[in-house]
């Protein structure tokens, strides 16, 4: 069985090491998926020659660039010929089914929401991420699109996260949990209590509250929270994993004899680092917009870019947008 | 120079392994501090014989016990002769200057607030904890006393956390940061933006926003947040550190040769585990009540109990309550 043909737009300018790692990532993604086509947006001198040398790549030259430091919504409104805005428009116009960028998260979010538009019924799109847990990965959302939310938004995050877990983790009936500071329904903030009461009826697979310790434990397929708490949790997770593994490495190389012993353990420890590396899940989807939109880390390497493109293709093939429309439209 | 004489009340029934580990912890604390006296609250058969055999221990027998599962405020109101309520009353009555329990956090919080009362000017007491960061430790608060807060509460948390950092970390001019999802003052939730604006003027040493990744990095001496976000962050931190170190251990013992190499590295890794062990900072203070109140982890061992008692004594000697009264009363 061959995969369905899918076209993904890739922002050649997205990320700290663009365009080099983006182009390498595109090549890797194409090599891994023979039914994949790419549209590249970016400066003519970057995209034209690259596309000319490849069968399944089309170039759409753009003249503007949105910097990480710019105000996202303003930049999207004024820079209509930027690689991000044009990329989202190609999805809107049906030229491609999904968009990938490792550029400014805020600009991608603003462009996708303004240009592609929201799925009918979705009041607030949310950004999700896959947490590589010890037992099985979890989808965590919102990780920063909405710092202030209402309980109804959290219900929709649960439905959208569920659709994403079905498509990207391949779980047919994902469990959905609410992040809270106690297990009982009456625990936590007023927002969490209200959301719990609504989710019981509105979200299939709802298993109740989980706590902070459950995020890296893989207790639920989907963990729902507001964008403030989710962003703090994600950055804490990334920061601590990095700090701890560095400390382990330092401790293991503090004397020559220890360094020799550590050499024997390099392989399993690299495997572990690999297993908890979020790159393999390829970036963060903006859920709730009309079209697949995957946002990569600014520090993405070629492999992370390839993984992001692959996830975009998987989300398209799995009917992510339609699943969200059906779930939220109910 | 000898330390000032200090009396701390200890709840003999607090914690999963009470009273055994509590009594061992009291002995260790007494051995380490010759100017320390203890009042033990708990069942007569536990406290009387223990006190009779020791010079600096006095027994105050109690007849009731508050379980971890009980509704805290109700339990405190009805069980007036419980080890927790009597312990707090001994502080209120001036028989002791501080209280330590590894029992129910909610019950300790309710008892300390109701019985000792709040420091004039403090609207919401908060629970803090010391995060053992890689560079230098940070005080994080609130970690769960207040799931819903106003910006004014966060300002007071900053002032109270600062007093605690002065006394317990020994930093004379602690830096104070607001936990947020971006560094700029205009980032984050409405609450965070409002709190930032107030803290600039009201909190000495205020350095602005920090993000989730800064919690384990030791970027600020004091990190302020609401009790919902703080609780999620703390439990995530504890959960991830445990998960990661277990994964490192598993990876290192996956074959006989690796296990041999791992044996050479046991010492530095245990040292690391020790360095990031929160036990050394001895439990979580409830800040804002009239008297020192330190709440230990339910899973405290004798060493953690001893550390908690030592921190209570240090907080008393450092004038924690007076410092908070002065800072908040301004």
Residues B133 and B266 in one domain: yes
- pLDDT of B133 strictly over 80: no
Residues A158 and A296 in one domain: no
Residues A107 and A135 in one domain: no
Which residues of chain A lie closer than 8 angstroms to B257, CB-CB? 264
Residue B176, Cβ density class (10 Å: 0-12 exposed, 13-18 middle, ≥19 buried) = buried
Q: Is the peptide bond before B19 cis (omega within 30 degrees of 0)?
A: yes
- pLDDT of A232 strictly over 70: yes
**Per the CB < 8 Å rule, is A261 touching B257?**
no
Residues B219 and B311 in one domain: no
Summarised one tens digit per residue, pLDDT across range A133-172 is 767 899 999 999 999 999 999 999 999 999 999 999 999 9
Which residues of chain A lie closer than 8 angstroms to B243, CB-CB? 134, 216-217
CA A65 to chain CA centroid, Å, is 22
Residue/partner pairs of A273-279 with CB below 8 Å, 24 or more apart: A273/A245, A275/A132, A275/B247, A276/A132, A276/A241, A276/B244, A276/B247, A277/A132, A278/A129, A278/A130, A278/A131, A278/A132, A278/A238, A279/A303, A279/A304, A279/A307
- pLDDT of B285 strictly over 80: yes
Q: What is the CATH number of the domain that holds A94?
A: 3.40.718.10
Residue B210 and residue B220: Cα distance in Å, rounded? Answer: 8
What percent of chain A lies above the pLDDT cut of 90? 77
A131 lies within 8 A of chain B by CB:
no
Retrieve residue A86's tokens: 């044009």
Short-list A234, A310, A227, A221, CA closest to A278: A234
pLDDT at site A299? 87
Residue B168 and residue B170: Cα distance in Å, rounded? Answer: 5
Residue A310 and residue A315: Cα distance in Å, rounded? Answer: 9
Residues B229 and B269 in one domain: yes
Residue B291 and residue B299: Cα distance in Å, rounded? Answer: 24
A278 lies within 8 A of chain B by CB:
no
Residue B329 maps to a domain: no
Summarised one tens digit per residue, pLDDT across range A184-211 is 888 899 999 999 999 999 999 999 999 9
Residues A226 and A296 in one domain: no
**Per the CB < 8 Å rule, is B181 touching A147?**
yes
Retrieve residue B8's tokens: 């701390």
SS3 content of chain B, % helix, strand, coil (to 5): 50, 15, 35
Residues B210 and B305 in one domain: no
Residues 6+ apart with CB under 8 A from A267: none
B144 lies within 8 A of chain A by CB:
yes
Chain B nearest-CA distance from A294, in A, is 20
Cβ distance A101 to A11 under 8 Å? yes
What average pLDDT does range B180-188 have in this prediction? Answer: 91
ipTM of the complex: 0.92
Bigger pLDDT: A174 vs A68: A174
Residue A250 and residue A259: Cα distance in Å, rounded? Answer: 10
What percent of chain A lies above the pLDDT cut of 70? 97
Residue B186 maps to a domain: yes
Residues A169 and A208 in one domain: yes
Residue A180 and residue B73: Cα distance in Å, rounded? Answer: 21
Query: Total domain count for chain A?
Result: 2
DSSP A119: P
pLDDT at site A2? 64
pLDDT at site A257? 84
- pLDDT of B215 strictly over 60: yes
3-state secondary structure of A108: helix
**Per the CB < 8 Å rule, is B268 touching A251?**
yes
**Angle (CA) B44 B47 B50, round 5°:** 135
Which residues of chain A lie closer than 8 angstroms to B135, CB-CB? none
- pLDDT of B1 strictly over 60: no
pLDDT at site B167? 96
Residue A286's beta-bridge partner residues? A127
Summarised one tens digit per residue, pLDDT across range B219-274 is 999 999 999 999 999 999 888 877 777 877 888 888 888 888 888 888 877 777 77
Residues 6+ apart with CB under 8 A from A50: A12, A23, A26, A40, A57, A59
Residues 6+ apart with CB under 8 A from A299: A15, A16, A17
**Per the CB < 8 Å rule, is A243 touching B147?**
no
Placement of tokens 């590589």 in the chain: A132
**Per the CB < 8 Å rule, is A189 touching B228?**
yes
**Which of residues A279, A301, A319 is at a domain's end?**
A279
Residue A305 and residue A295: Cα distance in Å, rounded? Answer: 10
Mean pLDDT of chain B: 93
Cβ distance B64 to B107 under 8 Å? no
B151 lies within 8 A of chain A by CB:
no
- pLDDT of A282 strictly over 80: no
Q: Helices (DSSP H) in chain B: which residue ranges?
A: 20-32, 44-52, 72-78, 83-92, 105-111, 151-164, 190-202, 227-252, 256-264, 266-275, 302-317, 320-329
- pLDDT of B96 strictly over 70: yes
Q: What angle do the packed helices B256-264 and B227-252 form, to 10 degrees? A: 120
Retrieve residue A29's tokens: 């993604």
Short-list B5, B26, B4, CA closest to B101: B26
Summarised one tens digit per residue, pLDDT across range A96-129 is 999 999 999 999 999 999 999 999 999 999 999 9
**Per the CB < 8 Å rule, is A272 touching B243?**
no
Residues A329 and A205 in one domain: no
Placement of tokens 């536990």 in the chain: B46
B69 lies within 8 A of chain A by CB:
no
- pLDDT of A280 strictly over 90: no
Phi-psi region for residue A290, left (φ > 0), alpha (ψ -120 to 50) or beta?
beta
pLDDT at site A330? 65
Residue B257 and residue A252: Cα distance in Å, rounded? Answer: 16
**Per the CB < 8 Å rule, is B269 touching A261?**
no
Residue A293 and residue A99: Cα distance in Å, rounded? Answer: 5
pLDDT at site A256? 86
Q: Is the peptide bond before B10 cis (omega within 30 degrees of 0)?
A: no
Q: What angle do the packed helices A266-275 and A256-264 form, to 10 degrees? A: 60
- Chain A, 177 to 216: residues with Cβ < 8 Å from chain B are 179, 181, 188-192, 211-216
Residues B117 and B210 in one domain: no
Chain B nearest-CA distance from A251, in A, is 5
Residues A151 and A252 in one domain: yes
Residue A1 and residue A301: Cα distance in Å, rounded? Answer: 31
- pLDDT of A53 strictly over 90: yes
CB pairs under 8 A between A and B: 175
Residue B44 maps to a domain: yes
Mutation target to probe the A interface, by most A beta carbons within 10 A, among B261, B274, B298, B299 is B261
**Per the CB < 8 Å rule, is B188 touching A147?**
yes
Residue B330 maps to a domain: no
Residue B70 maps to a domain: yes
- Chain A, 237 to 256: residues with Cβ < 8 Å from chain B are 237-241, 243-248, 251-252, 254
pLDDT at site B280? 66
Residues A299 and A266 in one domain: no
Residue A219 and residue B115: Cα distance in Å, rounded? Answer: 39
Mutation target to probe the B interface, by most B beta carbons within 10 A, among A133, A228, A269, A273 is A228
Mean pLDDT of chain A: 93
Q: In what order do the strands lie in the sheet with B206-210?
A: B57-61, B36-42, B6-11, B98-101, B292-295, B284-287, B126-131, B138-141, B222-224, B176-179, B206-210
Domain containing B293 equals 1-122+288-323
Cβ distance A292 to A285 under 8 Å? yes
């Amino acid at each position: 069985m061959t995969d369905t043909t899918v076209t993904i737009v890739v922002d050649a300018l997205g990320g700290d090491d663009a365009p080099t790692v983006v182009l390498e990532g595109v090549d890797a993604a194409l090599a891994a998926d023979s039914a994949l086509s790419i549209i590249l947006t970016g400066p003519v001198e970057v995209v034209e020659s690259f596309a000319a040398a490849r069968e399944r790549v089309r170039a759409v030259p753009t003249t503007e660039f949105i910097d990480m430091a710019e105000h996202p919504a303003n930049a999207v409104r004024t820079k209509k010929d930027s690689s991000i805005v044009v990329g989202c428009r190609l999805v809107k116009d049906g030229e491609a089914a999904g968009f990938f960028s490792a550029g400014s998260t805020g600009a991608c979010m603003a462009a996708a929401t303004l240009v592609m538009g929201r799925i009918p019924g979705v009041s607030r799109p949310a950004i999700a991420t896959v947490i590589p847990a010890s037992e099985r990965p979890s989808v965590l959302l919102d990780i920063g699109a909405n710092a202030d939310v209402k309980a109804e938004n959290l219900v929709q995050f649960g439905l959208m996260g569920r659709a994403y877990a079905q498509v990207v983790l391949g779980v047919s009936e994902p469990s959905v949990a609410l992040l809270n500071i106690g297990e009982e329904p009456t625990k936590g903030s007023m927002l969490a209590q209200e959301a719990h009461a609504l989710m019981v009826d509105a979200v299939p697979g709802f298993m109740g509250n989980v706590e902070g310790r459950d995020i890296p434990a893989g207790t639920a397929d989907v963990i729902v929270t507001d964008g403030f708490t989710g962003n703090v949790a994600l950055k804490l997770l990334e920061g601590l994993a990095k700090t701890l593994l560095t400390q382990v490495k330092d401790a293991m190389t503090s004397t020559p004899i220890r360094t020799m012993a550590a050499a024997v353990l390099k392989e399993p420890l690299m495997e572990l680092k690999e297993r908890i590396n979020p790159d393999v899940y390829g970036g963060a989807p903006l859920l709730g917009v009309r079209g697949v939109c995957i946002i990569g880390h600014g520090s993405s390497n070629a492999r992370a870019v390839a993984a992001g493109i692959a996830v975009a293709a998987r989300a398209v093939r799995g009917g992510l947008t339609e699943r969200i429309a059906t779930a939220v439209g109910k």
